[in-house]
Amino acid sequence: MAHRTLTIEYEEFNVLEKLPEDEQILVHRAREARKFSHSPYSNFRVGTAISTREGHIVVGSNQETSNHKSSCAERVALDTASAAGLKNQIAKIAVAGNPGINTPAAPCGQCRQDIKEVEDLSDNPIVIILAGQSKVMRFVGVSNLLPFAFGNRDM
């Protein structure tokens, strides 16, 4: 038996203005996207903004339904980017949860898997920014959020 330790890497900021300007804009767009959240059951609004290598920005917000077959903001934005033919060009993703909460909202397991699939398509690590009220976490590559991921390269 071997004992192993898993380490993830990320940067943490207490002020949004410490991020590069394009990432600050992405966080602001994710926060704006929360306005379009349909979350009558959880009252937890999430917005996501995605930027491509060419500078296009696509947004999404969580959408809840009474049968609990909801769509997360990340998947809405990823699907929108895919429908626009931008899926393999995604460079950065910002996620913003409810206003006033300092702990950043993190993507669920299914969203992490979907981000991994997109990252595999683009063949470049995606920058993932999780934004709370003031606390911001910045990850480079989905493997820091989803270690031991299974994807199309494993088949």
Q: Where are the domains of the chain?
A: 24-143
What mean pLDDT is predicted for residues 76-93? 95
**Residue 152 in this model has a pLDDT that exceeds 80:** no
At the fourth CATH level, the homologous superfamily of domain 24-143 is Cytidine Deaminase, domain 2 (3.40.140.10)
CA 100 to CA 38: how far, in whole Å?
Answer: 18
> Are 46 and 73 within 8 A, CB to CB?
yes
Would you list the DSSP string of 90-142?
Answer: EEEEEEE-STT--SPP---HHHHHHHHHHHHHHTSPPEEEEE-SS-EEEEESG
pLDDT at 149: 87
Q: Is pLDDT at 49 greater than 80 in this prediction?
A: yes
Contacts of 18 (CB under 8 A, 6+ apart): 136
Confidence class for position 122, pLDDT limits 50, 70, 90:
confident
- Give the mean model confidence (pLDDT) for residues 43-63: 96
Overall average pLDDT of the 120-131 stretch: 93
